[in-house]
Structures are given as structure tokens and as C-alpha cells.
Amino acid sequence: MIRKLDRMLLGTFVPVFLVGLSFFVLIIQLIDIFAEIVRYMNLEVPLIVIAQAQLLFLPKAISYSLPVAILFAVSFTLGNLYSNNELIAVYGAGIPLQRFVLPFLAAGLLLSIAGFVFEEQVVVHSYRDRNRLDRELLNIGRDQGSPNVTVLADEGRIVYNADYYTHESLSLHGVTVIERAPGAAFRLRIHASRAEWRDNAWVFINAELYKIAELESSESSVNSDTTLVRERHDRLRLAHLNAEPELFGRLTRSLDEMQLSEARDWVSRLRSAGLPYRRVLTDYYSRISFAFTPFIVAMLAAAVGSRFRKNVLLLSLLVSLSLAVGYYVLGMVLSLMSAAGHIQPLVAAWLPLTLFAALGAALFRLARS
């Protein structure tokens, strides 16, 4: 009997879930296209190219819609069963609500795993291509440069300072580099009018190199009143001076365009360069915690869905959207607090999921059974 109920429940749930997913994907796609439609028209972008852009955005829209669709499908299915007095028969047979909704929880867990794999293998790549296409269509270039930039490398032992960084040519202008030895002693200093990124290292143009005299060969000329040796170079390349050019830009890279391994590496590079990383680290942790969202919302919907007897469709939509908005708003607020240093990135990423999981467990205890 239980297996028949499970099959019946899933047979009712799956069509509603697919319809709900399509509905929410359509809403997100419409919001996205209406946000850019005026610019598309002004630039006379062909319809086929607009369709291509929306197709590339489709996986991201599915990723956004998945938790809301599960929330809607579970609450609608249970509400519909309750309004038809079918849940009364289930309870009368001695089947508790917690056991009856087990297929929903299993579906939520499976969709969490599938959603995580889908995000890593499909969404990241399609969203990256979509953003690249948008930059071409809407004439949105990457930042051309950044003034007055300072970057730390090699755990703070190497300091780069430049008057200006140009992204197009991957070059630094008015650049100074200071390197310290492991014991914090001075090792070298470079002044150059320009530096260019070549073969995974910086090549300094019209450079002056200062080193401690004892480290120099006998051919170097040492001033009697100083402990430094000065050398002039038309072009100077030191292989270990290889801080990546992206660190000198305005950090416009988005974690939505990176797989987790790339995101982890990016956070590590920001940390080692002494650049702001808390917001990026929060987004990294949120990518992991967000994967559990379908399971959590399935539990929430299972707890509240059986309370609806009238206007099931309307109330299911209302509850689904309200909880989704509350979840995302809480995540945004905590992310801002993490970026400002008020809370730890790990807490900011996992607290919304933890709170909503606790809410689901509490509602489960209070649910009709």
C-alpha cells in the first residue's frame, strides 16, 4: 500500500513540478529580456541573436527556478490532496505525514545533487558564453584599466604598485616593485616606466634595479656611501615576478562564470595579493550551500502544503514566492554584512539554509498528521 501511495504521490508531483518549473523559467527569461530589450532595439540586434542569448541564459534560469518549482509543486500537490479530503483517508490509515511525504524529500535530495552537477557542468559554461555575447552585442567592454593599484604577492613578500593598469595591453605604467627576503629584510626594488605581461611574467621597460651589494657580482659598480647596487635595464624579466594581470584590474570576474575549483583558486589568489576577498569567499560558500536548497524547500513545502483547503493554486504560488524572496533577501543581506566584515563568510553562506531548515523542522512538528 505504501509503495502505491508513493507512486501515486510522485505521479501527481512530477507533472506539477515540470509545469511549475516551466512557468518560473518563463518569468525569469521575460525579466531578463525586458531588462535589455530597449538596448537590443537601439543597437538593432537581430532577432536570431537575441534568441541565441536567451538560449544561453536558459540553464541559469532553470538553476534559479528549480527550488521555487519544487516548493510550488509540493505545496500544490499536498494542498490539492487535502482539499479533496484524500489526506484524511491517508491519516485514517495510520500513515503519518512524515512518512507520506518521504517521496518529496527523496525527490528534493536527488534534485539537489542533480542541480549541483548541472550547475558545475552546464550552467557555468553557458552563463560565461552568455555574458561574453552580451558584451559584444551591447558594446559592454571589460574595464579598460585601473588607476593607482597596489597588489601583494607571495604571501606579502612582494609588493607591486603602479600608477595605472591597462587591461587591453596587459601593461602597468609607472610601476614599482619591492621584494623582501623571508626574514623581512630588503631584497630588491624595481622602478620602471612600464611593465608588460609576457610569457607568464612581467617584463619591465626602462627599469632601474636596486639590490643589496653583497648579492652582486664583482662586475657591479657600488657607490661607496650606500649598501645598494643600481643597475639599468632596457628590458628586465624576473621569472618569479609573475602576479597575474587580472589582480591589477577592478576584480570584475564573477563566480557565476567559474567552476568551484576555479573559484577556490581565485579566492586564494585574491588573498595572497592582499585584495578584498570576503565577498567572493561568501559567494563561493554560497554556491555549495545553495545546492541543498531543493531539499530544504521540499521539507518546508511538505510541512505547510497540507494546510491549504481553498484557493490551493493561488496560495501555493503565494507561499512559494514569499519563502523564495525571504530566502534570497536574507542571503543578500548576510552577504553584504560578510563583505563589510561584520560576520564570517562561512556563516553568511550557511546561515540562511540553517534557519530555513530549522523552520521546516519546526513546521513539520506542528503540521497536521
User: Helix, strand, or coil here: 324?
Assistant: helix
State pLDDT tens for residues 104-132: 889 999 999 999 999 999 999 999 899 88
| Res. 218 pLDDT band, cuts 50 70 90 | very low
Considering only CA atoms, which of 78, 103, 76 is closest in space to residue 91?
A: 78
* 340-366 tens-digit pLDDT: 888 899 998 899 889 888 887 887 777
Other Cβ atoms within 10 Å of 165 Cβ, number:
26
184: left (phi over 0), alpha (psi -120 to 50) or beta: left
Phi-psi sector, 174: left (phi>0), alpha (psi -120 to 50), beta: left
Q: Tens digit of pLDDT for each residue in 77-97? A: 887 777 777 777 777 777 777
Question: Greater confidence, 310 or 344?
Answer: 344
Q: Taking the domains of the chain in order of start, what are their residue ranges?
A: 2-139+280-366, 145-247
DSSP at 311: S
* Phi, psi for residue 312 in degrees, rounded to 5: -60, -45
Q: For residue 195, which of 160, 232, 147 has the smallest C-alpha distance?
A: 160
pTM value is 0.70
Beta strands in 167-200, from DSSP E residues, in sequence order: 171-180, 186-198
End-to-end Cα spacing for the chain:
18
Query: CB within 8 A of 228, min separation 6: which ones?
Result: 210, 211, 212, 213
| pLDDT for 58 beyond 70 | yes
